[in-house]
Structure 1
Amino acid sequence: MKTPSIPISEAESVVMEALWSASPRTADEVAAAIRPDRDWQEATVKTLLNRLLKKGAVRAEKDGRRYLYSPILTREQWLDSESRGFLDRLFDGRVAPLVAHFSRHRKLGKRDLEELKRLVKELDDHGK
């Protein structure tokens, strides 16, 4: 199944993270969930929720005088789309140049290298 490509801004991703962690939530509950990290007013959160509604990333159900928001786009779908876009834009869709870049700039620690070796071995074992 192809991952839906819904462009999510950085600010919208903060709202999505709050919904992925627990939903459904009201706009007030989303604002309260992100308040420790962002000092956003409820109006800002409502604006972001409305943008996400228009994009088809979330749904809203009427609950009395308020709306309950839930994600339609899963976190895994978003991560897949974002990572593919990143690889396509910067590394011609290839993972090896990405790893080489981090390696050249000493951004890979011993733990990273061990995990990469394990992943390569798993891929190699599956290919046999």
Structure 2
Amino acid sequence: MSKWQRISEAEKQIMEIVWSHDGPITTAEIIKGLPEDKAWKQNTVITFLARLMEKGIIKATRVGKANHYEACLTEKEYRNLETRQFIQDVHRGSVSGLISALCDNGDLKKEDIEEIMKRLKE
């Protein structure tokens, strides 16, 4: 993937279905996996899939008359990219700035701090 691009909330909903599926997935399977309140038409889903392909998040393989989509990066890899970009955008690249903000706001629980300390020691 060349230049990473953030995905929209709608694209994220599509990706959650792709990530949760074991192996390649068709448009019809994606539509079936959508929550009931997201009754998107097939063309809408295809538009989101095309955008995700342009961004290098998924790839498609034609099998018969259907495209089979699969992720080019895992959900964890994507979340790591989002986190890095957030730290860059909001905290000027400073991880300690992020942690300070969490501490200042009281958002860190004792368990969170213990987990962070454990991870730092590894």
TM-score band, normalised by the shorter chain? 0.7 to 0.9
Give the AA of the match of 1:62.
R
Q: Residue 8 of structure 1 corresponds to which residue in structure 2?
A: 7
Give the AA of the match of 1:116.
I
Aligned to 1:115, the other structure's residue is in SS state helix
- The CA distance in 1 between the partners of 2:50 and 2:110, in whole Å, is 44
| Structure 2 gap ranges (5+) | none
1:74 aligns with 2:74: yes
Q: 1:98 to 1:74 in 2, by over 3 A?
A: same
TM norm structure 1: 0.80
Q: 1:40 to 1:88 in 2, by over 3 A?
A: same
Q: Which moved further from structure 2: 2-11 or 95-104?
A: 2-11
Q: Residue 96 of structure 2 corresponds to which residue in structure 1?
A: 96
Indicate if the aligned counterparts of 2:60 and 2:68 stay in contact, CA closer than 8 A: yes
Superposition deviation, residue 3 in structure 1: 8.3
Superposition deviation, residue 58 in structure 1: 1.4
- The CA distance in 2 between the partners of 1:57 and 1:30, in whole Å, is 16
Aligned to 1:39, the other structure's residue is in SS state coil
Indicate if the aligned counterparts of 2:24 and 2:68 stay in contact, CA closer than 8 A: yes
Q: Residue 114 of structure 1 corresponds to which residue in structure 2?
A: 114
Q: How many equivalent pairs are there?
A: 121
| Structure 1 gap ranges (5+) | 123-128
Superposition deviation, residue 100 in structure 1: 1.3
CA RMSD of aligned residues (A): 2.2
Q: Deviations over 1:20-63 (max 9, x none)?
A: 11131111111211225633333221110011122222111222
Aligned to 1:103, the other structure's residue is in SS state helix
Q: Residue 34 of structure 2 corresponds to which residue in structure 1?
A: 34
